[in-house]
Structure 1
Amino acid sequence: MGFGGISVWQLLIVLIIVILLFGTKKLRSLGGDLGSAIRSFKSSVREGEDEQKNESNNLKHDIGDNPQQKQHHEEHDSTKR
């Protein structure tokens, strides 16, 4: 038994049919496109996380400079809980 009742032989037959229908060149280009899309998505996620860290650091830095803002921020945080 393979994946969910599908045996290895059935998977190989499906793979052979897909290769015959689309050809290896088309499948190779499709794989390359999919790979580049995944890389682009990962880099976008990393950039978003970096921006959030920078904004968080800037907020902490701004609050640390002004004691009144720090007190207001602490009061605001305590009302959220």
Structure 2
Amino acid sequence: MGSFSIWHWLIVLVIVIVVFGTKKLKNVGSDLGSAVKGFKDGMKDGSSSDPVAPAQQVSNSAKAQDANTVDVEAKTRS
């Protein structure tokens, strides 16, 4: 039950290609590769010279993409 023959894997591969298509699989592969490369670069540059907080980076990029967003600041309850 745990071991599959090569024919089982070929049938699974054909079904995946039929369902997703080769173009979508190529895009997923390239996206995954660029994500891994970005992660490795981030690990190398762990202490970069630009000390911008991640929350500020996200809010700045969100402002540039959507003009309908409202910028608010969360406050803690005392």
Shorter chain as normaliser: what TM range? 0.5 to 0.7
For residues 28 and 35 of structure 1, what CA distance do their matches in structure 2 show? Answer: 11
Query: CA RMSD of the aligned region, Å?
Result: 1.0
Larger radius of gyration: 1
Alignment match, 1:41 = 39
The one-letter amino acid paired with 1:42 is: K
**Could you list the runs of 4 or more consecutive aligned residues of structure 1 that deviate by over 4 angstroms after TM superposition?**
none
> Which stretches in structure 2 are left out of the alignment for 5+ residues?
48-78
Identity, in percent, stands at 54
Deviation at 1:5, TM superposition (A): 0.6
For residues 12 and 45 of structure 1, what CA distance do their matches in structure 2 show? Answer: 37
Deviation at 1:40, TM superposition (A): 0.3
* Equivalent residues in 2 for 1:1-80, closer than 5 Å: 4-48=2-46, 51=47
Deviation string, structure 1 residues 2-47 (Cα, Å, up to 9, x no partner): xx41221111110000000010001000101000000000101111
More helix by share: 1
Equivalenced residue count is 46
Q: TM-score, normalised by structure 1?
A: 0.53
Deviation string, structure 1 residues 35-62 (Cα, Å, up to 9, x no partner): 00000001011112xx3xxxxxxxxxxx
